[in-house]
Structure 1
Amino acid sequence: MVTLRLKGLHRVKAKGRIYWYAWRGGPRLTGAPGSPEFLASYNEAVANRQSSDSGRFRSLIALYRASADYKKLAESTRRNWGPWLDRIAGHFGELRIAQFDRSDKIRPVIRRWRAAYAETPRSADYGMQVLSRVLSYAVDPLGKISSNPCEGIKQVYSSSRSEIVWTDSDIAHLKKTCSAEIAQAVDLAAHTGLRVGDLIRLSWSHVGEDAMIITTGKSRHQREAIIPLYQGLRDILGRIPKRSPVILTSSKKRPWTVNGLASSFSDAKKIAWPKGDDLHFHDLRGTAATKFYVSGLTEREIAEIMAWEEEHVARIIRRYVGRQAAIKERIQKLNEARKS
């Protein structure tokens, strides 16, 4: 076994695999540790770092990766963004930062880069999201450019899931053929709006006299979802057997894992809709948001329940809450105003 003594190496373990980086926040290394390919990629990374020109775009990538803004992102987000930061650095790295201050000149360059991913529109938009974040960081706090040239460039993937929420009939149809454990997970998600990662670790100890309170993984446990124990939610909790400290368990009476629930849910959907459907588990968050919104809760109240940022709640509601639900709510308000 080869012992590595390279300065600054950073080791990351994710999903049972080990990844090596030239330094914390640096590029990922290729090849097996100790191999010629591994050493070559390390030497190249160090050489590029030492010769980096602070006036070129690659330096922005390095600064962003080392920033507190990047480090406070969820680990899963950093894992997804890392390869995109590498692609962005590879494509734009040699350009001068000053070129990004001329929107009329740089936007065509950005659009051409995005066009390389045109066959996968959602990937193209994801890459643009990462690039835009780096450029926003260059505007503030770095002050290296005056504005973000990505602003105003429309998304390629235009489909919106705002109209795709689970109806009561959708849930009833799934329950005809799915296991009791899947039905419990779907019911709880539709009545709380919790993400899968928070849902599967929700324990009976989180259930208080008047509310369920749980810190959210998306916020790195800095925010709390505070879900009132309204009657519908109490009824669901009353139907779930207490097999474990964790509320949701699989048919083996063990707590779910994210992959385990996703796999079982996918199998249940295929049985319920053999010809396919367009319903995802995360659409149950939209179902919960719709319930809360139509029930007359304010944006601030919904933000507190679902642990969303209050300043962004209006935008998030527009994304998740179905148009028909919003129209019905407005009709109700207009009718009440007429009566008064």
Structure 2
Amino acid sequence: MAVGSSDYIQAFGEASKPRRLRAQSDPVMASSTRAVIERYRKSIHFQKLAARTQADYVKYLNAFDAEFGVDPIKLFEEKASLSEIRSWKEQWVHSPKSYDYATSVVTRLLNWARDEDVAIAIHHHLNVPRIYKSDRSEIIWLPEELAALVRVATEREARIIIAASEGGLTPQDIGILTRDNVQKTPKGRRLLFKRTKTSKATSIPVTPALAKLIDETPRGQKYLFVSLQGKQLEAVRASDIVRKVKERANAAAAKDPKLIHVRDELRLYDMRGTAATELLRAGCSLNEIAVTMGWGLRHAANIIEKYAAIVPEVADEVLAKLLEARSRSDEGR
């Protein structure tokens, strides 16, 4: 190609265009970020994710596609791309949790592009510090606060509250249970299911309170716990129901000083900690608590260590053992 020829001038013009404009001429090329995102969404690594997780990922993948879809995936081999990704994530600056979720999804996508799709040799979006930090392990419902909710709840609202506090069910899991999840055990019954978030098998003993809910479920009703309209209960709706019941309970308490005020920071998910604390109070082993809550042993150990510090019976048990030991010591003198 001769210098100064029309072909040379055209090629030079193309090469001089910004990266974004060059890629726009062929947005579906195999090396575009959009094409890689599409391949990732069709891969086994994406398909094996839980349906809820897939839906969450798609939100951020679509946003990433809108920003970088026409760019070549090779863009992310350059360290300077970190600043572009950071600028893109600023649309969630108001929500540290969403900001961190975007970080996780991009890292997962680029890891797959490097290791499985081999579309890039390296990327630099690794070990990105997280912004959101939340530790609600010390926030649990008191028995009198749960009673305050049930006192003002309708039948369907009360069923949700009792299921969450008795079984430690998450907002995502309450609405998926059917009679098929109820199994007989040698001495009773259990709820056996896979958690929506982690797909971990979870076995919850059917307490008398849960048994009453199960046995009172209308025969023609598919799900054990439904929305106020009788439809499948969604996680957001379950949390919203508890929030509104709490508002009603506190409105009643404002008029009657004999009634208890439910702490404002409490939410449905915190009932999970309440259930785990009850297991600890009952003397259940670490393995028993892990299986019941659908946790790994290491995670269960970390959580229970925090719960143990706020369970008052633990202090009483320590004192009783201490006094007993001193009594034996005095007798031996």
Shorter-normalised TM range = 0.5 to 0.7
Which runs of 5 or more structure 2 residues have no equivalent in the other structure? 1-23, 255-262, 326-333
CA 1:316 to 1:178, structure 2 compared with 1: closer, same or farther past 3 Å? Answer: same
CA RMSD of aligned residues (A): 4.1
Report 1:235-274 matches (<5 A).
235-238=209-212, 242-245=216-219, 247-248=224-225, 257-258=233-234, 261-262=238-239, 264-274=241-251
Whole-angstrom CA distance in 2 between matches of 1:316 and 1:146? 36
Matched, 1:110 2:82: no
- 1:314 partner letter: R
Which residue does the alignment assign to 2:330?
Answer: none
Instruction: Determine whether 1:78 maps to 2:54.
Output: yes
What amino acid sits opposite 1:268 in the alignment? V
Q: Alpha carbons of 1:239 and 1:81: their partners in 2 closer, same or farther (altered >3 Å)?
A: closer
Task: Give 2:329's aligned residue.
Answer: none
Deviation at 1:110, TM superposition (A): 3.3
**Do residues 218 (structure 1) and 196 (structure 2) align?**
yes
State the 1:81 CA deviation. 2.1
CA–CA distance in structure 1, aligned partners of residues 209 and 184 of structure 2: 15
Instruction: Pick from 144, 150, 174 the counterpart of residue 199 of structure 1.
Output: 174
Structure 1 SS opposite 2:190? strand
Task: Name the counterpart of 2:39.
Answer: 63
8 Å contact from structure 1 (residues 162, 322) kept in 2: no
Give yes or no for contact 1:162–1:323 (8 Å, CA) kept in 2.
yes
1:178 aligns to what? 153
Picking from 172, 187, 208, the partner of 1:234 is 208
What is the aligned partner in structure 2 of residue 153 from structure 1?
129
- TM-score, scaled relative to structure 1: 0.65
Does residue 1:314 correspond to 2:298, yes or no?
Answer: yes
Match of 1:288 in 2: 275
Query: Residues 313-337 of structure 1, C-alpha deviation per residue, up to 9 Å, x if partnerless?
Result: 534774x668353465986897799
1:145 Cα deviation from its structure 2 partner: 4.6
Q: Could you say what secondary structure the match of 2:203 adopts?
A: strand
Distance in 2, matches of 1:141 and 1:333, equals 54
Q: TM-score, normalised by structure 2?
A: 0.66
SS at structure 2 position matched to 1:226 = strand
More helix by share: 2
- State the Cα deviation string for residues 27-51 of structure 1 (Å, max 9, x = none): xxxxxxxxxxxxxxxxxx9x632x2
The correspondence for 2:308, drawn from 320, 325, 333, is 325
For 1:301 and 1:180, locate their aligned partners in 2 and report how far apart those are by CA, in whole Å. 31
What is the identity percentage for the equivalent residue pairs of Structure 1 and Structure 2? Answer: 23
Q: Greater Rg, structure 1 or structure 2?
A: 2
1:121 maps onto 2:96 in alignment? yes
Q: The residue matched to 2:27 in structure 1 has which SS? A: helix
Which residue is equivalent to 2:184?
A: 208
The answer to whether 1:188 aligns with 2:163 is yes
Partner of residue 5, structure 2 = none
Aligned to 2:152, what secondary structure does the other structure show?
coil
SS in 2 for 1:302: helix
How far the C-alpha of 1:241 sits from its partner, in A, is 5.6
Contact 2:164 2:174 in 1 (8 A): yes
Contact 1:57 1:95 survives alignment (8 Å) = yes
CA distance in structure 2 between the aligned counterparts of 1:226 and 1:70, rounded to whole angstroms: 27
Q: Distance in 2 between matches of 1:227 and 1:60?
A: 41
Residue 215 of structure 1 aligns to a residue in which SS?
strand
2:225–2:233 CA contact under 8 A, matched in 1:
no
Matched to 1:123, the amino acid is S
Compared CA separation, residues 176 and 296, structure 1 to 2 (3 A): same
Count of residues paired in the alignment: 282
